[in-house]
Amino acid sequence: MKRFVWRLQRVLDIKTKEEQKKRTELLKLTEELAEARGQLLIRQRILEDIIDGLSGEEPRERLGEQELFLRYSATTDEQIKKLKDRIQELESRQREKIAEVLEARRFKEGLEKLRVEAKAQFIKEQEKLEQKELDEVASVSFARKMLTAR
């Protein structure tokens, strides 16, 4: 029996590698996004802790620390804003990358389906050829027996 060779196998291999590459890129983006979110939460938590610490102190002692906090908070607010902007940008890139991965997967699955159909057709044709050959052998054998029986 002949070996099954599919003409589009190379395309399927390329698309599989492309999907894996896009998945890796998506994973890296997701890790970056998680790291940025973690940094944002840490900075927000630090501000909350400082505010809680200031509210628990006596008003006289609190004034100096409060002034320092207000100067510091402007810088921190700007850093938090930058982190939020970066998170939004990463989320946008992540959505785009998810769409790319899904598109590559659908294309690859379509090719795999075509391959399965082509292989089934190949097997069916090979079985027909095999059956035809067996029928010919049986016919020749029968004809020889008929000729020798005379």
Kindly report the three-state secondary structure assignment for every residue of 78-144: HHHHHHHHHHHHHHHHHHHHHHHHHHHHHHHHHHHHHHHHHHHHHHHHHHHHHHHHHHHHHHHHHHH
Give the Cα separation of 19 and 24 in Å (integer): 9
pLDDT of the residue at 51: 82
Per-residue pLDDT tens over the stretch 99-141: 999 999 999 999 999 999 999 999 999 999 999 999 999 999 9
- What whole-number distance in Å separates Cα of residue 37 and Cα of residue 91? 11
Q: What is the pLDDT at residue 22? A: 96
pLDDT at 4: 87
**Conformational region of residue 5, where left means phi above 0, alpha means psi within -120 to 50, and beta covers everything else:** beta
* pTM for the structure as a whole: 0.73
List, for the chain, all residue ranges whose pLDDT scores fall below the cut of 50: none
- pLDDT given at position 1: 59
* Contact in structure between 30 and 93 (CB atoms under 8 Å): no
